[in-house]
Amino acid sequence: MRDRLSIDPARTPELLQRLRDTTPLTHCITNAVVTNFTANALLAIGAAPAMVDLPGEAGLFAGIAGGLLVNLGTPHREQRDAALEAARAASEAGTPWVLDPVAIGVLPVRTSLAHDLAELRPTAIRGNASEVLALAGTGSGGRGVDAADTTDAAEPAAVDLARRLGSVVAVSGAVDLITDGDRVARVAGGSALLTRVTGGGCALGALTAAFLGAARGSEHDAFAAVVAAHDVYSAAAEVAASGSPGPGTFAVRLLDALHAVAPADLAGRDRVRLGGTHDPRLAEAVR
């Protein structure tokens, strides 16, 4: 039986403190639209970003990084090669890595790449409901980067995908759903303004990689790290949205909030609900 401590939401403050103490080197292969925002979000939370996406370098760097993000937002040919190279190297080196299958389902090149990467067993997968359904093979994708499906609708597919790949699957929405195939957590809060800022979800993928890097070698497992990343991001988004007149101000305030959030601010907050063991009959429904 798994250690209950590893999924206690009270562990989020400990993981945030560990991230600040260890400054995990976070390797990002991400899309051209969000590179600057993603790097700044990592710096704000206390991680060290590195945007290394050249074939011949990506694999070498993934082997020494604390965590890796592979984001498929703008997958040009060189970046596709680098993503596969880095994912293979991360798997061999034991570097935790995150797959963010942006806009898969409708677009064939990135969809094929996402399935190839999934076979390399990412530590975590983070996407919206339509992306997760498409990766699981039970959906056709959303409208560009926007989801056409609900988080609840994607839950059986997320659980099945987590079990098949041995990954933690995080489905973003008004309430985020996170599962390792056995345990399910839901993280509430955040702000609708995240959907009005380019890179809101992509930055969360990078923070997930950073928290996985921080948890490496500790008592905290990947599920706890992914829950903590979503919990911290949700808390920061709530602070950033307070008094923000629109998305421009919100984007700046989000970086400030990520920098300012302290472990003590997260203690006793009631954003995380643990769902216990998932009903296996729901996973059977998507087979």
We report the CATH number of the domain holding residue 110 as: 3.40.1190.20
Full residue range of the structural domain in which residue 96 is found: 4-278
Please give the tally of structural domains in the chain.
1
Report if residue 42 sits inside a domain: yes
- Separation CA 178–CA 171 (nearest Å): 6
Report if residue 287 sits inside a domain: no
State the pLDDT at residue 124. 98
Report if residue 43 sits inside a domain: yes
Report if residue 239 sits inside a domain: yes
| Largest Cα span, the chain | 48
Indicate the pTM of the whole model: 0.91
State the pLDDT at residue 69. 98
- Residues (pLDDT < 50) of the chain are 1-7, 142, 145, 277-287
Q: Is 163 exposed, middle or buried (0-12, 13-18, 19+ CB in 10 A)?
A: middle
Report if residue 48 sits inside a domain: yes
State the pLDDT at residue 1. 34
Q: Taking the chain, what is the end-to-end CA distance rounded to the nearest angstrom?
A: 26
- Residue 107, classed as helix, strand or coil, is strand
Report if residue 81 sits inside a domain: yes
Report if residue 285 sits inside a domain: no
DSSP3 helix / strand / coil % (the chain, rounded to 5): 55, 15, 30
As given in the structure block, the two tokens for residue 287 are 């087979």
Helix 12-22 / helix 222-241 crossing angle, nearest 10 deg: 90
Report if residue 174 sits inside a domain: yes
State the pLDDT at residue 9. 53
